[in-house]
Amino acid sequence: MIEERAGGELLAPRLLKIAQDAAEAAAALVTSSPPLVMESNGTRCGEQILSYGRVEKVLIGGVLMMLTLSTICGNLLVVISVCFVKKLRQPSNYLIVSLALADLSVALAVMPFVSITDLIGGQWVFGHFFCNVFIAMDVMCCTASIMTLCVISIDRYLGITKPLTYPMRQNGCCMAKMILSVWLLSASITLPPLFGWAQNVNDGRVCLISQDFGYTVYSTAVAFYIPMSVMLIMYYRIYRAAKLSAAKHTITGFPRDGDSGTSRGAKATPSESQHALESRDTASAEGTQVRGGGIDGEDEEDESLDCVSAALKLQREVEEECTGRVSRLLKSGEHHQRRKRKNQSIFKREQKAAATLGIVVGAFTFCWLPFFIVSTARPFVCGVECSCVPLWLERTLLWLGYANSLINPFIYAFFNRDLRTTYSNLLRCRYRNINRKLSAAGMHEALKLVEKPESEL
């Protein structure tokens, strides 16, 4: 009994020492491992750090720099082209300038800081104050770009469906009001976090837009979902108008070979008609003279001459009547051709507007829809003070949205011959006589349309 008590007294210190060693080892393991968890506003939020090798940093940095510089150059070309080329200084192009300025602001004020943040692993190193400024610039410029695309789609729809009344309203003052409304509405999304409605997430290492439920629904709806819905509706209506126009032209048809809107008999010119009538006059006179030559006596000759005179007078009246009818018929045919050309021009314009807006809407949806789906779902899944979305996915979707600012100027240049020509001249440093070249090109296109053979219409 005494021996068991002594053995127990010796075993207790050993067990205590083993427990202490295990606790020290666990503490050492925790302190030696990198911090995977951080405190954020009283809650525990997973911190994600992206680590790159040297080669990866060079490649990613090069790609991001090329995206930024290309966005700056493309949108700067749009602004310079419209501001300095007289032919492009039209009210309808003011919206394109506003879009280019919004995209240019994204490239200058947002992309460089996002690039630096991504290259150092996703940590925000620019301080608390600049975090709020950065988020405000990011939200306002991206929203202005998206909403300008929406307004452009409405402008194109009205220009197609109301070609007689809308151009009279499409003046500089109207465009300025629309542009001002776009930027004010964009600012309305930016200001709430700055005035206390919803606070941005910023603890010194993370800079994230407010994850408040109400603000998230409001900002994503106004900045993306409503403009996207309007753009889709406008595109559908323009597409339907173009389709109806195509069906109408399929039924009525454009002029084809041997069918210029008049009958084959109506194609005879006035000189040809006169020649035919003169031939009939000569034949009638000769026939009368033959019949009169076989009768003896002056009375018969006088009567024959009177008949010939009456016949010639009647033929002249018939000739004048026929010539007038042929002339009116030919004029009617020319009017018909002019109307055909006008209808064809409207048809082509509708087709071009539908194609342009379709590509714009498709590119916009492809670039921004994934990002806004994640942004809308994030506070409901992760909570209001954290972001549980994988950082690499979040940054990839963000840059995909920024890429929309890169492709916008090239989409409009692809469908606008004047912009293409101006881009080409500016890039080749041919600054002189750009206005004269554009005017000459426009005159050449107009002459080609007027002189186009009927068989090609």
C-alpha atoms less than 13 angstroms from C-alpha of 52 in its C-beta half-sphere: 15
* pLDDT of amino acid 146: 96
423 neighbors 77 (Cβ within 8 angstroms): yes
Taking phi over 0 as left and psi of -120 to 50 as alpha, with beta for the rest, 425 belongs to: alpha
Give strand pairing partners of 45. Answer: 38
336 vs 242, 253, 400, 447, CA distance in Å? Answer: 22, 13, 51, 19
Identity of residue 449: L
Mean pLDDT score across all residues of the chain: 75
Q: Express each pLDDT in 39-49 by its tens digit.
A: 343 334 555 67
Any idea which of 91-100, 185-194, 386-395, 444-453 has the lowest mean pLDDT? 444-453
Among 254, 73, 210, 231, CA closest to 154? 231
More confident residue, 346 or 190: 190
The answer to whether the Cα torsion of 106, 109, 112, 115 is positive or negative is: negative
Rounded-to-integer distance, Cα 325 and Cα 266, Å: 9
* pLDDT of amino acid 17: 60
- DSSP states of 68-95 as a string? HHHHHHHHHHHHHHHHH-GGG--HHHHH
Identity of residue 282: T
Taking phi over 0 as left and psi of -120 to 50 as alpha, with beta for the rest, 39 belongs to: beta
In the predicted model, is pLDDT for residue 349 greater than 70? no
Q: Is 4 helix (H, G, I), strand (E, B) or coil?
A: helix
In the predicted model, is pLDDT for residue 283 greater than 70? no
**Mean pLDDT to the nearest integer, 142-170:** 88
More confident residue, 178 or 36: 178
Q: Is 206 helix (H, G, I), strand (E, B) or coil?
A: coil
Rounded-to-integer distance, Cα 155 and Cα 170, Å: 9
Fold of 54-258+338-456: Rhopdopsin 7-helix transmembrane proteins (1.20.1070)
pLDDT band of residue 436 (cuts 50, 70, 90) is low
Backbone angles phi, psi at 263, to 5 degrees: -75, 165
Contacts of 155 (CB under 8 A, 6+ apart): 92, 95, 170, 178
326 neighbors 270 (Cβ within 8 angstroms): yes
* pLDDT of amino acid 418: 82
- Write out the two tokens for 26: 């666990």
Q: What is the pTM of this model?
A: 0.69
Q: Is 209 helix (H, G, I), strand (E, B) or coil?
A: coil
Identify the DSSP state of 171. S
pLDDT band of residue 341 (cuts 50, 70, 90) is low
pLDDT band of residue 67 (cuts 50, 70, 90) is very high
* pLDDT of amino acid 222: 94
Rounded-to-integer distance, Cα 127 and Cα 385, Å: 18
C-alpha atoms less than 13 angstroms from C-alpha of 266 in its C-beta half-sphere: 16
119 vs 47, 49, 53, 55, 79, CA distance in Å? Answer: 16, 11, 10, 12, 31
**Mean pLDDT to the nearest integer, 77-92:** 87
3-state secondary structure 143-163: HHHHHHHHHHHHHHHHHHHCC
The answer to whether the Cα torsion of 219, 232, 101, 112 is positive or negative is: positive
* pLDDT of amino acid 264: 43
411 neighbors 95 (Cβ within 8 angstroms): no
Q: Is 415 helix (H, G, I), strand (E, B) or coil?
A: helix
Rounded-to-integer distance, Cα 93 and Cα 175, Å: 9
235 neighbors 354 (Cβ within 8 angstroms): yes
Rounded-to-integer distance, Cα 254 and Cα 151, Å: 34
Residue that the structure tokens 């709430």 belong to:
192
385 neighbors 45 (Cβ within 8 angstroms): yes
Long-range contact set of residues 95-99: C-beta below 8 Å, sequence gap at least 24: 95/148, 95/151, 95/152, 95/155, 95/175, 95/178, 95/179, 96/152, 96/412, 98/144, 98/148, 98/179, 98/182, 98/183, 99/145, 99/148, 99/149, 99/152, 99/408
Q: Express each pLDDT in 217-253 by its tens digit.
A: 999 999 999 999 999 999 999 888 878 877 765 655 5
